[in-house]
Chain A
Amino acid sequence: MIDVEPLIREELERLSPQRDALSDWTDVMRRAERASPAAGEANVGVREDGVLSAARGRVREVPRRRKRLALRLAAAAAAGAVVISAVSVVSPWESSPTLVERALAAVGTRPVLHAVMVMPPQQQDAVIEIGSGETVTRERVTEVWFDSSRDLKKTVMMLDGVVVDEIFESAEGGFTRSGPVITCSWIAAHPVEATKLRVSCSADGNNGTTPREIPEQPPTIEESLSGFVDHYSGALASGRARETGRGHVDGRTVIWLEIDVPAAGGGDARVERVAIDSETYKPLLVEAAGGATRFAIREIGTLSHVPSVFTRPTQITARDGGVGGSTKSKRAVSPVEAAAALEGNVLWLGESWRDYRLVETRLVDLSIGYGPLSGREPTKVTGVEFDYGRRSGDGTIADDSIFTLKETTVCTVYWGWTCSATDPTRTGTMIRFGPITRVLEAGVFVTIWDWNGRDDPPHLEIARDLHHVGS
């Protein structure tokens, strides 16, 4: 009988050879986060992860750009409608403006739209005080300046007033703090750099070496905001806005309007609800997708062109913590050896904790990368991992009960931190996101990795019981 196994193995090796694939957990988390993004969040996700994400994300950038093309056309049309309609409704010969006219006039007619939106909180915005268990949810704000006539847009994302990222977009492309927004136009203009980043818009992945010029798509506002602002004004002007009743939002009496927002791709229109202040006629709250997307409008109005706003953000070319990394080696060690390797800055739960016991301690050599465009060589970081598993009746450890503590004394993106204002920034605090919890305690960056995803045992209790090895 023919032994087919060697043949199968040979064919499989040809089909999908073993490669040194670089894993990117941060990218996974951001994809998970992006499942139900609020307006502006897509920006944070795409831009925050910078070069590495761009390298991995060449396909997923596209729908956004496609969507933007359609939105841009809609925006351009609607922007014209805003100005024309608003001018007409506030003309002096109009003596008794209607609700719609007042709402239009409240936004104004100057060339730059300026809006400050308060986004719905996300799980990772909640900072937990480890001692008290109290949760403080940080406020996520997106501020946008949009000049459709000059194809300029500036977006600033903030968390509790601290800038997390900012984006400047123009006909020349987009720029974030982490570098350029990778588009086909950028790749064409920077073929050598694009090849270093492993991004391409050609099917064969060959960017060539000669720069070419492909016009960049002008910016537009994000879908929800675009849907709201562009179509809000257009819908008001065209009669597609319907008053559906009155209510209260944050103690203010509001008038609810329903607006049919045309789909960007020409599909079925969707309905957005806008609550406008009954006194100022300015919008206060927007609900889309049946309430799944909801954001507050803290400020909205139009401004004269302000050149100083439309500038590129200061580049952080080699963000501390890197943009990714890889595990170079791991070896099992004793907890004491692990503690010594990190000069005593190692936190653990002891040899046993509740019905868990320490299964293994490892010393890990990490290589932290900063991206090909940073000009910074990868650095080495030493980390420690503790595996704890639940003892069953017969003394064995079930694989799916194991959780891992990963620790370094410097912030590393590779082990689940963002190394930005979105992390816990005070000692004694933690942030959960999915199966991962980031704990900042005694100068140690601890990540609790819990693959059962059930918060069992509760991460807060793990964090509370962490103590130095030997103490």
Chain B
Amino acid sequence: MIYERDYGGCVRVATAITGDYERGVEAVQEGFANAIQGRHMFRGDGPLEGWVWRIVVNAARASVRRPGDPTALELEAADEPAVDIAEVSPLVAALPERQRHAIFLRYYVDLDYRTIAAVLGIEVGTVSATLAAAHRSIRSALKEVGQP
């Protein structure tokens, strides 16, 4: 149910994290497969949705962290993300990873703070602070470049 309902959002978030649509799709498929394999590890102490999302986000992060993976190198001659986030979205790229991911989860799929907290492994109150910090950073970056 979560898969079917959230697939599009998952792919958007994973694409944003990996910088590549194909990798994003791959990460979502792997993430849900991992969730099935590890379903017994879900302790029920948070939202199931958050637990699944966390696995998907981790799969996407892992995909980014393996630029030298020979598996990818073999078929993807240039194994860099197809999209350079700094070029497409310099404001978002400049944010620390946690802020970036909080932004993705909030704006792409409109997750509530409790679920975002479960995904990022932080307190609910920290989500609010993280998003506020992201907004502040973007606002000050805009001031620096002289935008209104």
Contacts and interface: CB of A to CB of B under 8 A. Distances in A.
Interface of A: 1-2, 4-5, 7-9, 11-12, 14-19, 21, 23-25, 27-29, 31-32, 34-35, 56, 58-60, 62-63, 65-66, 184, 201-203, 327, 399-400, 402, 404, 434-435, 449, 451-454
A24 B11 CA distance: 12
Given A58-B75, A453-B42, A404 B1 contact: yes
Contacts of A15: 15-16, 83, 85, 88-89, 92
A327 B5 CA distance: 11
B15 to A, nearest CB: 4
Given A12-B16, A25-B4, A453 B88 contact: no
A208 B85 CA distance: 28
A2 B139 contact: yes
Contact of B72 (A16, A25, A59): A59
Contacts of A402: 1
Contacts of B15: 15-16
A59 B76 contact: yes
A448 to B, nearest CB: 12
A24 B7 CA distance: 9
B47 A400 contact: yes
A42 B103 CA distance: 38
Contacts of A24: 29
B73 to A, nearest CB: 9
B39 A16 contact: no
B113 interface: no
Interface in B29-70: 29-30, 32-34, 36-37, 39-40, 42, 44, 47-49, 70
A19 B8 CA distance: 7
Contact of A452 (B32, B34, B48, B138): B48
B85 A31 contact: no
Contact of B36 (A8, A60, A62, A434): A434
Contact of A23 (B4, B22, B77, B83): B4
| Most chain A Cβ neighbours within 10 Å, of B16, B76, B147 | B76
B88 A14 contact: yes
A9 B148 CA distance: 17
Contact of B142 (A2, A184, A327, A400): A2
A37 to B, nearest CB: 12
A7 B138 contact: yes
